[in-house]
Structure 1
Amino acid sequence: MTATHTGAKTNPGRFFEDYTLGETITHAVPRTVKVGERALYHMLYPARHALYSSDQFAQNCGLPFSPLDDMIAFHVVFGKTVPDVSLNAVANLGYAEGRWHKPVWPGDTLRSTSEVIGLKQNSNGKTGVVYVRTTGVNQHDEAVLEYVRWVMVRKRDIDAPAPDPVVPKLAAALDAGQLVIPEGLDFSEYDFALAGEPHRWGDYAVGDKIDHVDGVTVEEAEHMMATRLWQNTAKVHFDTSARPDGSRLIYGGHVISMARALSFNGLANAQMVVGLNGGAHANPCLAGDTVRAWSEVLDKAETAAPGVGAIRLRLVATKGGDAFTLRGADGKYLPHVLLDLDYWALMPM
């Protein structure tokens, strides 16, 4: 037989004009996650929050055993969406209304769907912004995570007509009452010595800023390994021809996890991430950059769970510069700012 060559069976990814407001996208390839993902996660990042490191510690906090890190759930659910949402993205722009509904346990199988909730073509006519609400579910069809993100996506045909612009109204932040506290969580017998720091919920005040001191230089090999681990196929992370400067853009989630891990020094007891209020990848991160982090306490709330308080934190990752200065006189992020993330965590009272 004579071989023929055709692109009909391959997937070039969606472009801006391929999205329809209100459509639901079922993302391919469910993934079963086990303790191997935890080991790799803790290898890639200096992650050492006790609840995710020790079954015994987790059991003393009322859980059956140690769940997988919250950001593992985020990366896996996010990675499923990339071939359908951001394969042809110029940049991932932001997050909102994120909630972790259930812990992810070793052996759970995760899959994702996304609903297109907004579309807006940019003024240059070459790109547009796509807003999606993504839900990750486990093998029992229970939601484990949901969040909104918006992405700048290239157009295939710059002459394609622009859709009617729809920008969804998104909450600036979750109320503490919207947070889901894992069933059985109980910090009343919390072991501060084993957790690594004595600071509890009452020791933090709104407005406190915490310099997490440490820095980690990002290497090309590790960010490539991380992106493959989460099955994130975005071209800008793999293909040096996908960016004008020939560099491979480091996955924004890699920066999130690095900053979250660095925050252990000063926030060792902010154990569980349960809400994502907002976030921006302010500037690109490239191999060779040294990531540092600081946090600001934005809010605090009590919860109904024994000994469990909620703390709202701003987590900022930088690559040098004046650490606590985020924006210039024009209101734009300064070049050294990599990440500006607003999230809720659970902490012993």
Structure 2
Amino acid sequence: MGGLNFQAAATAIALVACATGRSLDWWAAQSTIPIDVWSETGGAGDDIRLVLTDGRKAEVQAKRRLRVGADMWEAIMKLARGVHHGDIALGLLAVSSGTSQTIAHGLAEDILRIAAGRTDDLTDTGQAFLQRLLEADLSSTKVCQGLAIQNIAALTSDAADIRAAVNRLESLMTNPADATRAWSVLLADAALLIERRSARDALSIGRLLSEQGLGITLGDMRMPTVAAAALSAWTIENNSKFRIIGVGHALSLADAWIPVSCRVKLPETETETAGLQEAMRRYHGWNDRNVRDAKFIDPLTLGRFYRKAVVVAGPGIGKSTVLKRLAATYAFDNVPVARASLKSVATRMRDRGETFAEAFFQIALGDSPVPSAERLLPGP
């Protein structure tokens, strides 16, 4: 496994931690649970960036069979500068098996010693590192408190960390026997993330696995990918039927759906800058506007291409049914979504004194099986 593949394996291990909500434990006893995993950032770590649950940023340089020399010094000093200047909270030099023990053991121990305020009994390489920090006017204590060297066993000859990642995936999959295939999917995806300089979060990891026919268990809600899958399943169930006047029973949206279209008109100006009265005037006068660029679209694309939209139609035309179908469609694609009646939200705000967000999420998600489900929703 070459250097790029070692980097991909380290990235895939981070993806598993992100999906399962488990700490990477790359920085001694610190809890480091990633919510976003980035590749090739151009930052202090460059190879991998992690955004952690507490908002801190960590960056990783992944090096295969590293030796003391220019490559090592460049990598570790880049991380040191990032920590010192506050660009990142944590920096990691991730090394493979076969790396010089002078680095993997000696310098790693020296960094822990310097972090504790001790500069005695350092190895020659540790002394050289301390001298470089002083010459660069970097705080040795601050740098070493956020810096670590970690051996990641992710080579064919030493794959203990890969096996541990597969074990974690077993708790995520509906069929634990699929864990090995799930690892292969994430490893291949990690290589693509590196090539495309892209990123993943728990929700997109869940979608990736589902697209590959890998079922996610609805068991441990502490795993963000499990929580998202459970919310999607609940949303599909709660938006699967609708009623029409004159029919005594609910109809299946999947079986009785009649395709409709909607006409899109973009606002004349940004409504955020308008006052309430002006916004209401535009809302009520929407149908009277003659806009040349108005076009008809499939309403099920709302939210994908029109991130902020108001659906306007007369009573009984099917607004609520369209939104139910839209919610179920997104949930089927493993995109977390919430739907609530605006009238019910207004009533709750008036009667209970709740904010819009409090009322909306209580109505939309209060009965869901996922605690604090609103945290799973994508931002606007």
TM-score range, shorter chain: under 0.3
Q: Which has the larger radius of gyration?
A: 2
The structure whose RCO (Cα within 8 Å, separation 6+) is larger is: 1
Q: Which has the larger share of strand?
A: 1
TM-score (normalizing by structure 2): 0.22
TM-score (normalizing by structure 1): 0.24
